[in-house]
Amino acid sequence: MTPTLAEVAPRNRYRKVVALTGAGISAAAGLATFRGIGGLWTARPDLATAMESSLLPGNLPVLWDVWGGIRRQAIAAGPSPAHLALARAQVQIITQNVDGLHQDAGSRDVLELHGSAARDVCIEPGCYYVGDIDFTDEPEPGHIPACPACGGRLRPDVVLFGEPLDPDVWEASERAVREADLVLAIGTSAFVTPARWLIPIARRAGALCVNVNLDDDTPYEDDFDAHVVGDCQKTVPHWLTDD
């Protein structure tokens, strides 16, 4: 019988818990994962090309369509039980997701490796505007919002293919896992770099690293001390209550 998360890592034994989350934690909100069967890139391979930073600014309309649509869907669905459980536990969140659902759930300390679809940023040289997106009105297809600071073009503040992560966010993420005594990789196969590098960093620093996923099919399974197989919408809330 597969052990539960509470059996593998009883919550009351750990002082500093970090959750590294992926698309699987948001699937209950109806948000598609990006890879694999039914994933966004599988269903719409053209979108993967459209996310290339080298194609800016020509791909701005599709960026707004995809990422704006994801954030609107996230707002409509609301955070999942797993998001809410992690927020109640107030563990440190490092997320590969851009949907903003951890903040919607009430998590206060969220490091967003791939940026956020809830923010926009100006692409014009010399303008450093970054702001929260107003999702009150539904934009016309192909609409590109204007920067309130310079009148230029805005894009969703997400990390595109070919772009580096925010170095401050990455440094904070490395520091968080080094200080952790328990790291939970939730709803992710821990396949994508550089996020997957955080697991070996955590283990070298002495943390117990547990993969919590629908299956144990991860190409880097030896990176983890243990695997908990099951729906994170059940396993994570049970972990919170089964002290």
Would residue 143 show up in a list of annotated catalytic residues for this protein?
no
One-letter amino acid for residue 84 of the chain: L
CA 175 to chain centre: 18
* Residue 63 CB neighbour total at 10 angstroms: 21
Q: How far apart are CA 75 and CA 138, in angstroms?
A: 13
**CA-CA distance, 160 to 109, in Å (whole number)?**
23
- Residues 6 or more apart whose CB falls under 8 angstroms from that of 102 comprise 21, 79, 83, 86, 87, 93, 95, 110
Joined together, the tokens standing for residue 172 give 């904070």
**Residue from 102, 114, 227, 238 carrying the catalytic annotation:** 114
| Catalytically active residues, by annotation | 114
